[in-house]
Homo-oligomer: A and B are copies of this chain.
Amino acid sequence: MAWNFSNDKPIFQQLVDIITVDIINGKYSPGEKLLPVRELAVMAGVNPNTMQRALAAVEESGLIYTKRGDGRYVSEDEGIVKSALQEYVVKIVRDFISAMKGLGLDENQILTFVKSSLNQE
């Protein structure tokens, strides 16, 4: 999973992001059973409660669901996963563009910056 957290965002939110991205990227297959909360917590080096809270948040988005007394599973509905990916991406792109425009850059300049930054790496 992960065990590096930045200080400018709540840990449980970073957990939410990581898990969400992992599911979106197909690191977990649809219908796959997740490790128990407690194990995930140990792996991430956080308190089980924190991991619990993160998973509950992910569950609200519909990406995972829980079988009582059994465990948590990745949603079998690939549509949900796909739409979650879409939302995630467009949100990031929009935030980026509005930030750039806020700095007074026009669309050409933005595109130029992105291109040059892509070629460098």
Give the interface of A toward B (CB within 8 A): 7, 10-11, 21, 24-26, 65-66, 68, 85, 88-90, 92-94, 96-97, 99-100, 102-105, 107, 110-111, 113-115, 117-118, 121
Contact = CB atoms under 8 A, between A and B. Distances in A.
12 contacts: A7-B65, A7-B66, A25-B103, A25-B104, A89-B105, A92-B96, A92-B100, A93-B96, A93-B117, A97-B118, A110-B114, A111-B118
Contacts of A94: 117
B11 A68 contact: yes
A107 B117 CA distance: 10
Contact of A117 (B26, B90, B118): B90
B68 A10 contact: yes
A114 B117 contact: no
A114 B25 CA distance: 20
Contact of A110 (B66, B90, B118): B118
Contacts of A99: 92
Contacts of A96: 92-93, 96, 114
Given A11-B68, A96-B92, A96-B96, A115 B111 contact: yes
